[in-house]
Structure 1
């Protein structure tokens, strides 16, 4: 069976990544692509690297006939997504890549994103899209909320450790480096090559980053009590990739064993041997997450490092992994490509 797919917001980085992945999926066909300012243009005009593909012309959302669509990926900005999704057919399967349905508490959404949620009915049915931990819920979901790419990376490093109680929950430091594509494709002065290259900088320092809402929600749910991590993201002059370095209190071998056991059967999460650490080079362009554990020189402390591609495993690859489950496909279909190296 061939599933008809629509991608809303196809002119952004995550939209282009979805096209790249779905183009090789044996049971999916891209039937509609939307953009706002670029409506009427062909995809090869927007993304010349996709010119070999036979793709629909970009159009406005209201020009799409959703009666023939099996699943829709929504790669729109937050706030826009909730407005668009609430107006889509109620039987349409949707994977949302924005932040609009990640936080279950409407007040938490307002706190972190600065505006009231306007699609509470859809929020109530949304399933959080971290595939490895919500797999069964995702299979039966109509609406799946993709995670933040930073939030996904930190959770892969920490969720099994919090569940198993092998680390001190009151002393978790998460230092994260993320590539510039995580900021989207819109023109921003601080992302100009002359201002970004040859250095990197911390941002949202002191607990203001929006993905903290996801960490608070998910880690506290796992622990059965409030858990807050100390988190600082950094913008690095690279196109793709996230590297999360997590400092925790606990026995390093027990931490490695816990993570290795948790991910032993997971196709896309790879544990490195004890003492080895991952690199963003080794996951680039892939749906894999690599995790390493090293003992610190201070007894009773350990360092957990996780790496993934923010556009693939952190966003569009995760979205396709979830869509496969929602449509009854093998979860790994279209996603087993090897990372690009060098």
Structure 2
């Protein structure tokens, strides 16, 4: 019987860190040997996340206290800007899946533009592979460093990449109207996300084309099309813990779009194409690594709507990270990720 791989999780006290622990807990070929949390160093995971108290986990430590000599792969779930500095200091042979935005953008000038500071780990950035598994699978298998996508960015790309590649839509008329649960903002205390502030309401944010995930859309869609592609994108915060649902409006033939999705995702274990004319719900992907896509024609001739639903913490982040880690370690891609969504 093969020996399980030793795993470290940096930033284990955040939502994505906890989600990684939840997923890896039932993974037959991964063993968590180290976890970091700077402010909560010295605490047990059961104190930070009581829902994980049944697991036998290492005590949270500071990063400089971790011995990486026997670690096969490290998940880095640290904040933007912090992640790049930490990763640059890790052993050069260590396989890493980064969940921050620090290595998603190939152009350092674009990173500085969208994230407000110069990149401090350009050598690492040069070797990073973009982590949208279904489209970068072969590169991820051979990678040492994989940059997980933004959760909103992943959702929009599942809707649009096959259509841009097949030249089925008008590239100058694309609207992504996306709604997301509050866990995407992280665990830090922020006034707009208090229950009394958020409950029973919803509001758009980063309006007017200022959301940082637009940088990923620009980079990826333009590369596919071979010319600049810029989409309209507005996220709306929902009074829900988990989930993303995006209504994507395009000019194109709805039935041709539906067939293109069927062809593009026919062999993908985590992408489900709904029957033509049906729309997905965040309720039906909750806590899972599945992504549901629906296509319908609009009453206006030549227009179509694509609806994509996924769990921002799983398929949009930690589940995607584990999917990539499986490939990097030579394990079955779907290992540890086939649990059904939680319903109701």
- Answering whether residue 337 of structure 2 is matched by residue 335 of structure 1, we say yes
Aligned position for 1:300: 302
- Answering whether residue 312 of structure 2 is matched by residue 320 of structure 1, we say no
**What's the CA shift for 1:260?**
1.0
**What's the CA shift for 1:292?**
0.1
Aligned position for 1:248: 250
Deviation digits for residues 1-58 of structure 1 (CA, Å, limit 9, x no counterpart): 2100000000000000000000100010000000010000000000000000000000
3-state SS of paired residue (1:58): coil
**1:168 is matched with which residue: 167, 170, 183?**
170
Deviation digits for residues 191-244 of structure 1 (CA, Å, limit 9, x no counterpart): 000000001000000100000000000000000000000000000000000001
CA-atom RMSD in angstroms = 0.3
Aligned position for 1:280: 282
TM-score normalised by L of structure 1 = 1.00
Distance 1:259 1:244 in 2: 16
**1:37 is matched with which residue: 33, 36, 39?**
39
Q: Would you identify which runs of 4 or more consecutive aligned residues in structure 1 move more than 3 Å?
A: none
**1:130 is matched with which residue: 120, 129, 132?**
132
Deviation digits for residues 170-202 of structure 1 (CA, Å, limit 9, x no counterpart): 000000000000000000000000000001000
- Answering whether residue 74 of structure 2 is matched by residue 90 of structure 1, we say no
- Corresponding pairs, count: 342
Distance 1:47 1:243 in 2: 27
Aligned position for 1:219: 221
Aligned position for 2:10: 8
3-state SS of paired residue (2:327): helix
Aligned position for 1:58: 60
Aligned position for 1:263: 265
- Answering whether residue 194 of structure 2 is matched by residue 181 of structure 1, we say no
**What's the CA shift for 1:126?**
0.1
- Structure 1 gaps of 5+ residues are none
- Structure 2 gaps of 5+ residues are none
**What's the CA shift for 1:139?**
0.2
Aligned position for 1:72: 74
Distance 2:31 2:193 in 1: 34
Distance 1:200 1:236 in 2: 5
TM-score normalised by L of structure 2 = 0.99
